[in-house]
Amino acid sequence: MNDEVMIRLENVSYEYKSYVDDSIQTAVNDVSLEIKKGEFLCILGHNGSGKSTMAKMMNGLLFPTSGQVTVMGINTRDEDKIWDIRSKAGMVFQNPDNQIVATIVEEDVAFGPENLGLPPGEIRRRVDEALEIVEMSEYKKHAPHLLSGGQKQRVAIAGILAMNPDCIIFDEPTAMLDPNGRIEVMGTIKKLNEVEGKTIVLITHYMEETVDADRIIVMNKGEIALQGTPREVFSQVDKVKGLGLDVPQVTELVYELRKEGINIKYDVLSVEELVDIL
Amino acid sequence: MIIDIKNLNYIYNPNTPFEKKALDNVNISINEGDFIGLIGHTGSGKSTLVQHLNGLMKPTSGSIIVDGINISEKGSSLREVRHKVGLVFQYPEHQLFEESVYKDIAFGPKNLGLDDKEIDKRIKDAMELVGLDFESLKDRSPFELSGGQKRRVAIAGVIAMKPKVLVLDEPTAGLDPYGRDEILDEIKDLFKKEGITIILVSHSMEDVARLVDRILVMDKGRLVMDDTTREVFKRAPELEKIGLGIPQITKFMRRFKEKGNNIDDNILTVEEAKEELLKFLRRKKDA
Amino acid sequence: MLKDITIGQYFPGDSIVHKLDPRIKIIIIGLFIASLFLIDSFLPYIFIVLFIGTVIKVAKLPLKFILKGIKPLVFIIMITLAINIFMTKGEVLFYIGPLTVSKEGLYTAAFMALRLIFLITGTSLLTLTTSPIALTDGIEKLLNPFKRLGLPAHELAMMMTIALRFIPTLLEETDKIMKAQMARGADFESGNILNRAKNLIPLLVPLFINAFRRADELATAMEARCYRGGENRTRLNELRLKKTDIVVMTSMIIYFALIVSTRYIDL
């Protein structure tokens, strides 16, 4: 991680008209945020907290009603550069089925670079490399609908990687997966951050997935309710639970023990850590 | 005994190169008033098993007797079986189709041939059980509700049929922790207040540990464990071998005991762990 | 039953037929269909059978696969047979109740039924040996010249690709919703036609709603991957005509021209 800013949100708000009664709803309310290059940032929050809307503003799929979003210095409102923004800040969505376009894995991975108008040789190189990184090379000639959920999601990630982005935004990528699929995808995401040096924005409501992040932002009612390292955030057990989220069971245990007057340090995240302390 | 499964086998695409044994000699008996967790990773045969329970799938061999009705016997009333065993599929909100919440929940009871008065009563009861306000929601379109509400409408649609056994296939998939806790609490209420036999299919060991009394573990089409929750989670290494885990808190207590600390590691919830550790720490202090 | 339909199903392989440029294959099948309709006697059918047989042999397609493709269409073939047998006037051979069977009727019926069978097998040869992707690419390229007339060639091809991609997904979903409604006591199997149609509502409404939701999500995902129509788009596998393509195409044009010419020769 260095000090270069990847994505900057300045006093960003997003309002929309409700389908039900035409009232004006605020999904994101005056949020300012800087995401550093190479950072692994998690955005936590319950459904309807505004976290997905915020993600969609980060690559110009939605535009703020007020405030500015800039990606590597480019304003997302700059229509001429919207494709630069989307190829620099790629996005992976929740439902793996609904983001795979082609009937063969490698053709799907090629979809992004094809849209960028790259020469066939370069597309081939990027497709092979992307599939290699997500460890799906042996499936490149397969039909996507026969893959498992975790494999489909990794193909979707490869499709974004092939556009060669500096940052990837994941919008609840594991919500529809089984535990094995979740482990596969989380492994891939961590690898993208650590090995490939990609900036990662992970939106999720599974707290287990955030313990390795550099920073966590907890959203509530369109605002940033809590912010800090995983340790700082999760040690505030009451606050986190009050926001409709979980903390790791061991963190909760420490919190309960401290309430009973047992004097141990409060910011514990893993099983091993707690075993060592007690 | 409400469901008796004997030597159940199911083979997909028999006699073709794609032949696949999905259920391999499964024997289970389920008693009225059981609260069962069914676990196993994707492809272990859980879903296939569950679909046999109300006759949506027919066994290749073996028998399933649901409250006295043998589902594979010719002429047996599948309608009656489906009335007795309610099945809530994964993402049940994807099957909503009516223009109002009321009408959608009425679909099942109507198919049972009940009169309007009884249907009305059942809808009210079902909505209350899943925590949906009858007056304010009955005329709303199910499609404009929130994700969690939609799911509860779908569950109410099955509950309104008053099944003796309710099977829920991952009822909390995709929900946030708050929505998940709400649904799980309602399921617990159904069990406690209505006395419905419940089979909960889940990937979350934490949820299963917290709720159910008995766990069935499936692996590669076979039933590999069938025991009380406590007994099943004692067999952590075996569970891990077939790609399943145990709750984090149970894992911690096991690890802590392995380090030579004299504690009871048969722990399922944070609350239990706290009590046990407090006892342990006091003993240590006294010594 | 749905999975029995082989039309539109791809049988992977790497024979010369598989490797042929999809554009060439589409043109050849076009020629095949045209000649099928221009033939006016039984004799040239020999060459048609020869063509089909050779392709099956060279592409190493299992015969069972081809026959399975005809099976779901047996009903239509039977109707064709019946209509032609009973509706064609001519030298009466015998009576079945109030209906007459003529010599000409039998002749035409057999001729038409064969034409239909050849038509089905011929087109399935194309889809069996050409991956859906290659097929849509081929169609897009062939339609390109018509772009100037306002034909949205790229959009059509993209729609076909997406349709092909989502057919298995939607079939799976249909199965799931059907089972879920059956669990709520829905009945899809009995009753008269009107009732059955009505009973489909609980299946069709969710299916459509889910399809729209999918379409919406897919559109967003495509936009996020910089999709902006066919303009300036390149391809991973660009189509390029090879020497074999030209040779095969030329010989096929001659072959089918000869078949059609039998029309004008008194045999």
DSSP chain C: -GGG--TT------SHHHHS-HHHHHHHHHHHHHHHHH--SSTTHHHHHHHHHHHHHHHT--HHHHHHHHGGGHHHHHHHHHHHHHH--SSEEEEETTEEEEHHHHHHHHHHHHHHHHHHHHHHHHHHHS-HHHHHHHHHHHHGGGGGGT--HHHHHHHHHHHHHHHHHHHHHHHHHHHHHHHTT--SSSS-HHHHHHHTHHHHHHHHHHHHHHHHHHHHHHHHTT---STT---SS-----HHHHHHHHHHHHHHHHHHHGGGS--
CA distance C206 to chain B (A): 5
- Tell me if C233 is assigned to some domain: no
Residues A136-152 have pLDDT tens digits of 999 998 888 889 999 99
Partners of B281 on chain A (C-beta within 8 Å) are 262
User: How many structural domains comprise chain A?
Assistant: 1
Partners of B143 on chain C (C-beta within 8 Å) are 209
d(CA A68, CA A11): 7
* Amino acid symbol at C220: T
Do C30 and C74 share a domain, yes or no?
A: yes
DSSP track, B58-69: --SEEEEEETTE
Q: In this predicted structure, what is the pLDDT of residue C3?
A: 45
Partners of B87 on chain C (C-beta within 8 Å) are 180, 183
Q: Does C15 touch chain A (CB under 8 A)?
A: no
Residue B126: pLDDT band with limits 50, 70, 90: very high
Name the stretches of chain C with pLDDT < 70.
1-8, 266-267
d(CA B89, CA C163): 26
Q: In this predicted structure, what is the pLDDT of residue C8?
A: 56
Q: In this predicted structure, what is the pLDDT of residue B48?
A: 93
Q: Which residues pair with C99 in a beta bridge?
A: C96
Q: In this predicted structure, what is the pLDDT of residue A48?
A: 83
Do C212 and C246 share a domain, yes or no?
A: no
A44, A37 Cβ separation under 8 angstroms = no
Residue B201: pLDDT band with limits 50, 70, 90: very high
C113-129 burial, b at 16+ Cβ within 10 Å, e below that, comes to: bbbbbbebbbbbbbbbb
| Cβ–Cβ below 8 Å for B97 and C182 | no
- Tell me if C252 is assigned to some domain: yes
Residue B281: pLDDT band with limits 50, 70, 90: confident
Chains touching chain C through at least 3 C-beta pairs below 8 angstroms are A, B
Kindly report the average pLDDT of chain A as a whole number: 91
Do C172 and C116 share a domain, yes or no?
A: no
In this prediction, residues B188-208 reach a mean pLDDT of: 91
CA distance C80 to chain A (A): 35
With a CB cutoff of 8 Å and minimum separation 6, the contacts of B53 are B3, B64, B66, B85, B87, B165, B167, B199
- Tell me if A261 is assigned to some domain: no
Q: In this predicted structure, what is the pLDDT of residue C267?
A: 54
Chains touching chain B through at least 3 C-beta pairs below 8 angstroms are A, C
Residue A139 sits in which domain range? 5-229
Tokens of C68: 């399975």
With a CB cutoff of 8 Å and minimum separation 6, the contacts of C257 are none
B134-165 burial, b at 16+ Cβ within 10 Å, e below that, comes to: eeebbebebbebeebbbbbbbbbbbbbbbbbb
Counting Cα atoms < 13 Å in the Cβ hemisphere of A270 gives 7
CA distance B47 to chain A (A): 13
| Cβ–Cβ below 8 Å for B278 and A257 | yes
- Tell me if C106 is assigned to some domain: yes
**Among A23, A178, A237, A272, the residue to mutate for chain B (most B Cβ within 10 A):** A178
Cα torsion angle, A96, A102, A108, A113, sign: negative
d(CA A52, CA C39): 62
Q: Which residues pair with B9 in a beta bridge?
A: B61
d(CA C169, CA C164): 10
Partners of B247 on chain A (C-beta within 8 Å) are 249
Residues A39-89 have pLDDT tens digits of 999 999 888 889 999 999 998 999 999 999 999 999 999 989 999 999 999
d(CA B230, CA B252): 15
Tokens of C43: 């004799």
- Tell me if A241 is assigned to some domain: no
Quick one: what percent of chain B has pLDDT higher than 70?
99
| Cβ–Cβ below 8 Å for A178 and B42 | yes
CA distance A180 to chain B (A): 8
B101, B144 Cβ separation under 8 angstroms = no
In this prediction, residues A30-46 reach a mean pLDDT of: 94
Tokens of C254: 């001659």
Cβ neighbours around C212 below 10 Å, total:
10
Partners of C131 on chain A (C-beta within 8 Å) are 103-104
- Tell me if C82 is assigned to some domain: yes
CA distance A249 to chain C (A): 35
- Tell me if C124 is assigned to some domain: yes
Place of tokens 């239909």: C116
Do C217 and C243 share a domain, yes or no?
A: no
Residue C207 sits in which domain range? 162-224
- Tell me if C35 is assigned to some domain: yes
Comparing alpha-carbon positions, the chain C residue that sits nearest to A141 is C12
In sequence order, what E strands does chain B have?
A: 3-12, 20-30, 35-39, 61-66, 69-70, 85-88, 165-169, 197-201, 214-219, 222-228
CA distance C216 to chain B (A): 15
Do C20 and C117 share a domain, yes or no?
A: yes
Closest CA to C19 of C130, C157, C124: C130
| Cβ–Cβ below 8 Å for A257 and B277 | yes
Q: Does C232 touch chain A (CB under 8 A)?
A: yes
Residues C127-181 have pLDDT tens digits of 889 887 788 889 888 988 888 888 888 888 889 888 888 888 899 899 999 999 9
Closest CA to B187 of B209, B172, B175, B206: B172
d(CA A216, CA A103): 37
Q: In this predicted structure, what is the pLDDT of residue C266?
A: 64
Cβ neighbours around B87 below 10 Å, total:
24
Q: Which DSSP letter does residue A171 get?
A: E
With a CB cutoff of 8 Å and minimum separation 6, the contacts of A262 are B277, B278, B281
Do C126 and C249 share a domain, yes or no?
A: yes
- Tell me if C115 is assigned to some domain: yes
Do C26 and C124 share a domain, yes or no?
A: yes
| Cβ–Cβ below 8 Å for B158 and C184 | yes
Do C166 and C80 share a domain, yes or no?
A: no
Residue of B83, B92, B97 lying closest to C205 (CB–CB):
B97
In sequence order, what E strands does chain A have?
A: 5-17, 24-36, 40-44, 66-71, 74-75, 89-92, 167-171, 199-204, 215-220, 223-228
CA distance C209 to chain B (A): 8
Partners of A117 on chain C (C-beta within 8 Å) are 232-234
User: How many structural domains comprise chain C?
Assistant: 2
Partners of A20 on chain B (C-beta within 8 Å) are 144
Cβ neighbours around C252 below 10 Å, total:
18
d(CA A137, CA A147): 13
Do C206 and C243 share a domain, yes or no?
A: no
Closest CA to B142 of C206, C204, A48, C173: C206
Do C199 and C246 share a domain, yes or no?
A: no
A163-190 burial, b at 16+ Cβ within 10 Å, e below that, comes to: bbbbbbbbbbbbbbbbbbbbebbbebbb
CB < 8 Å & 24+ apart, contacts of C39-44? C39/C115, C39/C259, C39/C260, C39/C262, C39/C263, C40/C263, C41/C262, C41/C267, C42/C111, C42/C114, C43/C262, C43/C267, C44/C259, C44/C262
More confident residue, B1 or A198: A198
Do C121 and C243 share a domain, yes or no?
A: yes
Closest CA to C138 of C21, C19, C7: C21
Cα torsion angle, B89, B91, B92, B95, sign: negative
Do C124 and C29 share a domain, yes or no?
A: yes
- Tell me if A271 is assigned to some domain: no
- Residue A192's H or E segment, with its range, is helix A179-194
CA distance A114 to chain B (A): 33
**Dmax (CA) of chain B:** 71
Q: Which DSSP letter does residue B203 get?
A: S
Q: In this predicted structure, what is the pLDDT of residue C1?
A: 36
Residue of C179, C202, C209 lying closest to B56 (CB–CB):
C179
For A73, the 3-state DSSP assignment is coil
Q: In this predicted structure, what is the pLDDT of residue A2?
A: 61
Comparing alpha-carbon positions, the chain A residue that sits nearest to C171 is A145
| Cβ–Cβ below 8 Å for A98 and C233 | no
- Tell me if A74 is assigned to some domain: yes
More confident residue, A169 or A19: A169
Q: In this predicted structure, what is the pLDDT of residue A203?
A: 95
- Tell me if C78 is assigned to some domain: yes
| Cβ–Cβ below 8 Å for C185 and B157 | no
Cβ neighbours around B45 below 10 Å, total:
23
| Cβ–Cβ below 8 Å for B161 and C180 | no
Residues in chain A whose Cβ is within 8 Å of chain B: 19-20, 46-48, 148-149, 175-176, 178-181, 205, 207, 244-246, 248-250, 252-253, 256-257, 260, 262, 271-272, 274-275, 278
Whichever domain contains A216, its CATH number is 3.40.50.300
* Amino acid symbol at A214: D
Closest CA to B69 of B80, B59, B60, B61: B80
Tokens of C155: 């959009």
- End-to-end CA distance of chain B: give it in Å, rounded: 51
